[in-house]
Amino acid sequence: MIHFRSKLPKTETTIFTVMSALATEYNAINLSQGFPDFDSPPQLIDLVGSFMKQGKNQYAPMAGLLILRNQIAEKVELLYNTSYDPETEITITAGGTQAIFTAIAATIIPGDEVIIFEPAYDSYAPSIKLLGGLVKPFELVPPDYKIDWDMVKKLISSRTRMIILNSPQNPTGVILDEEDIKQLISITKGTDILILSDEVYEHLVYDDRQHLSMARYPELKERSFVTVSFGKLFHTTGWKLGYCLAPEILMNEFRKVHQFLVFSVNTPMQYAIAEFLKNTGYYTELNSFFQQKRDYFRDLMQQTRFELLPCYGSYFQCASIKNITEEKDIDFVQRLTKEHQVAAIPASAFYNRGNDYGIVRFCFAKKQETLEKAVNLLAKV
């Protein structure tokens, strides 16, 4: 018997994997894991095949194809009226999660404290712990999940190295507003605190609201890693392609880790995305596409006993189960999958301490008929 000490002794298989497996086992409609059940733009798929046939199948440069980084720089300038140098401040990654891990690995050393806002995407805390960092969670509560910045200030110490933000947020669908930005600027001013801004749902903001990227604000941009996902943008989560934006001094450290973690990522897909990004209308109109899905799903859900929480962004809808059951949320979603053939995610899985407020998360990035079938089943709960 080989003996060794686990670096993540309390970490188990993610709830997303567990619930998707359960959905498959019980032939349930999977509204748990965050992926679309519709395909990416046909033109983009054709472009990938075209570049494969042209022989673009070998290693890309470590930082990514320059033509793609140039297109990203143009996109960022169009959206946020700011510039990043494609040569030194943009790196193509194997999805958003790799970009997040790389930024943490490049900057966090044992003893550093990192503030995260829970409920939080489940990769943040384990990544911090792997590097010897200390997780300082700030627990947000339903229904509005509003950040109390006076309380956040109490979490900050001389050892605070990073604040991780996610807007629009998974799982809650809340977004940062101008007051949040004002407070963040005030808190970090005159410090060496870094910001890791997970902005994979940047194009999924609804009701005429704006996505407030860290890139918009010079005081925040200078200390921020901004991570983005092409998977969310093009409905291609299986491609695992994204990118990171950061000022040169931070990107230098990011690339030191990136080159030994994955070195470079899928070459023909980079060529295809670089070409497809020239169509600016695609990503500027994506919020309308998903808002229609959000509105349709919310309207359908009125026939159920689930109590819907606000959703201002992302493709997730949270709902209270307090009118339905007093079960633990994890027990409820398992029963929902087995007995009613619809899979969801318990919000307690997004808290370090497993806080259970009786909230579950549904993914509405699905075909209309999928949402209709799912709600017909949920109405019987």
Domain extent listing, the chain: 15-40+284-378, 42-279
87 contact partners, CB below 8 Å, separation of at least 6: 66, 69
Output the pTM of the full model.
0.96
pLDDT in tens, 114-139: 999 999 999 999 999 999 999 999 99
Equal fold, 15-40+284-378 vs 42-279: no
Residue with tokens 């940047």: 202
Helix/strand/coil (H, E, C) string of the chain? CCCCCCCCCCCCCCHHHHHHHHHHHCCCEECCCCCCCCCCCHHHHHHHHHHHHCCCCCCCCCCCCHHHHHHHHHHHHHHHCCCCCCCCCEEEECCHHHHHHHHHHHHCCCCCEEEEEECCCCCHHHHHHHCCCEEEEEECCCCCCCCCHHHHHHHCCCCEEEEEEECCCCCCCCCCCHHHHHHHHHHHCCCCCEEEEECCCCCCECCCCCCCCHHHCHHHHCCEEEEEEHHHHHCCHHHCCEEEECCHHHHHHHHHHHHHHCCCCCHHHHHHHHHHCCCHHHHHCHHHHHHHHHHHHHHHHHHCCCEECCCCECCEEEEECCCCCCCCHHHHHHHHHHHHCEECEEHHHHCCCCCCCCEEEEECCCCHHHHHHHHHHHCCC
pLDDT in tens, 329-379: 999 999 999 999 999 999 999 999 999 999 999 999 999 999 999 999 999
pLDDT at site 184? 98
Q: How far apart are the first and last CA of the chain?
A: 48
pLDDT at site 57? 97
Pick 42-279's CATH classification: 3.40.640.10, 2.60.40.10, 3.40.190.10, 3.30.499.10: 3.40.640.10
Residues in the chain predicted with pLDDT less than 70, given as ranges, are none
What superfamily in CATH does domain 15-40+284-378 come from?
Answer: Aspartate Aminotransferase, domain 1 (3.90.1150.10)
pLDDT at site 98? 98
pLDDT at site 2? 86
User: Rounded distance, CA 224 to CA 108, Å?
Assistant: 14
pLDDT at site 64? 98
